[in-house]
Amino acid sequence: MQTATALAEIYTSEAGAVYQCDRQNRLLLSYGGALTVMKLDAFLRLKRTVDSISLHEMAASTSRSADLEIVTVCGCERCFILDLPQLLAFKELLDGAKFMLSLNSVLHECLQTAVA
């Protein structure tokens, strides 16, 4: 019986890290001192939701409600409450992780082409 879970580090920034679990086909998001496990679908949804937030509008608005953004997505049990600097860092973390996932995909394709 295997007990240790092999995690591959996808991307790390000062704000947190994203890991991939090949056994469960899940992504693990380490942010703000907590670990969130999610499927790829939920990760992409989270990224799309964060990308859709206008940081410019948030910065320009004088309304107190614009100071914080609440991010919740289906398939992710955690609710993220982020201010502007946190949102910037979170966005950078998700962007980096998505880029590395895409890079891995491209490498797989190149390797398959090379083998064939």
Partner 1 sequence: MKDLLRLRTSLTEEIELALNSQIKMEAESSAIYLAMSSWCDRNGFDFSAGYFKKQSDEEREHMLRLFKFVSDMGGRAVSPEITNIQVEFESFRNVFEQALQQEIAVTQSFNRIADQCQKMKDYVTFSFLQWFLKEQIEEEYVARRALELFEVIGEEGTGQYEIDKRVPKITYEKTYEY
Interacting residues toward partner 1 by CB under 8 A: 8, 20, 22, 25, 27, 40-41, 44, 101-102, 104-105, 108-109
Strand boundaries in the chain, DSSP class E: 7-12, 16-21, 26-31, 34-38, 68-71, 80-83
Half-sphere exposure of 102 (CA within 13 A, CB side): 7
State the minimum distance, in angstroms, from the CB of residue 6 to partner 1.
9
Min dist CB 27 to partner 1, Å, is: 7
Nearest to partner 1 of 35, 40 (CB atom): 40
Structure tokens, 99: 């880029």
Q: Residue 43 Cβ, how far from partner 1 at the closest point, in Å?
A: 9
d(CA 6, CA 21): 6
Contacts with 110 (C-beta within 8 Å, 6 or more apart), sequence order: none
Rounded to the nearest whole angstrom, what is the least distance from the CB of residue 50 to partner 1 in the complex? 15
Which of 75/81 has CB closer to partner 1?
A: 75
Q: Which is nearer to partner 1, 67 or 109 (CB)?
A: 109
- 93 vs 101 by CB, closer to partner 1: 101
Report the C-alpha gap between 50 and 70 in whole angstroms.
10
